[in-house]
Amino acid sequence: MIQDIEPRKLDNVFQPDILPVEDSVVFYFKNKSVLIRKGDGKLFPSFSELNEPQHCIYLFAIGKRAFFLLPTDALAFIPNGFAFETIRDVRRTRDAALPSFFALYTAVHLSDWYRVNRFCGVCGNPTELDGKERAIRCPHCGHLIYPRINPAVIVGVVNRDRLLVTRYADQRGRDNYALVAGFTEIGETLEQTVQREVMEEVGLKVQNIRYYKSQPWGSAADILAGFYCDLDGSNSIDLDTNELRQAFWARPNEIRLQTDDWSLTNEMMKRFKEGEDC
């Protein structure tokens, strides 16, 4: 999966005094796009190519390399050889080492958090970065804002020798097979989220809910929790067409895996397809 970057590790300790060096990676986002190198070689710009030390925000490190963020509109012009490309297109068309993509998705998470909290939600005054912890502080009223992490579930519903497979109603680059998924709501346990999402999306009851594995997914600020469960009762699907355009019971040889192995969804489908315990 995208976070499986061993033997390297993500070091997300807050260290605001770290300054970029020449080969530090700098992420620069605009809407849902990121600045990338047009040609071959390293995907994202280095500090030496942008040279904006007064604006760089330290994010994290992977191995010995530090990653930084430039706030939106920090660059007066785009350097030659670089252009913006959507996050989705970068995933589909670019070739780079997995740690680079994990860094990208984690940087998206933090960039969006910085961008939407420029003003205090309590008093409305401009905010500033806190110097002691990864937080945004309002200097007027003292309100602290921490990075938002959205809990969500991925659900593999098993019916003996078949797995419930879905496809999203939104077709924009998402024609892959998937599983039932959804965000946890106020007051719910993760297990209750599993039951509710399966009922809402496909009209099925489930039992024997069992946790499999989790995954951070920065582009949606998620922490995903994967669960398998068994069908309880009728296998007749009542499709929520606002969320899905297809859902069906698939035998292992009918499951079409995603084009990369980044996602928890893909790993869970792969386990079932290969006959592993689910």
- Where does 170-218 have alpha helices with state H? 190-202
Contact (CB, 8 A) for 26 and 45: yes
- Render pLDDT for 177-228 as a digit per residue (tens, 0 to 9): 999 999 999 999 999 999 999 999 999 999 999 999 999 999 999 999 999 9
DSSP letter string, 63-117: TTEEEEEEPTT--SSPPTTEEEEEHHHHHHH----HHHHHHHHHHHHHHHHHHHT
SS3 208: strand
Assess whether pLDDT exceeds 60 at residue 241.
Answer: yes
What's the one-letter identity of residue 98? L
State which H helix or E strand residue 43 sits in: none
- Render pLDDT for 139-171 as a digit per residue (tens, 0 to 9): 999 999 999 999 999 999 999 999 999 999 876
Assess whether pLDDT exceeds 70 at residue 174.
Answer: no
Please give the span between the terminal C-alpha atoms of the chain, in angstroms, as a whole number: 17
Instruction: Return mean pLDDT, the chain.
Output: 92
- Render pLDDT for 54-86 as a digit per residue (tens, 0 to 9): 788 999 999 989 999 998 778 878 888 899 999
Angle at 61 between CA 60 and CA 64, to 5 degrees: 160
State which H helix or E strand residue 265 sits in: helix 264-273
- Render pLDDT for 87-143 as a digit per residue (tens, 0 to 9): 888 888 877 788 999 999 999 999 999 999 999 999 999 999 999 999 999 999 999
**Cis preceding linkage at 99, omega within 30:** no
Assess whether pLDDT exceeds 60 at residue 173.
Answer: no
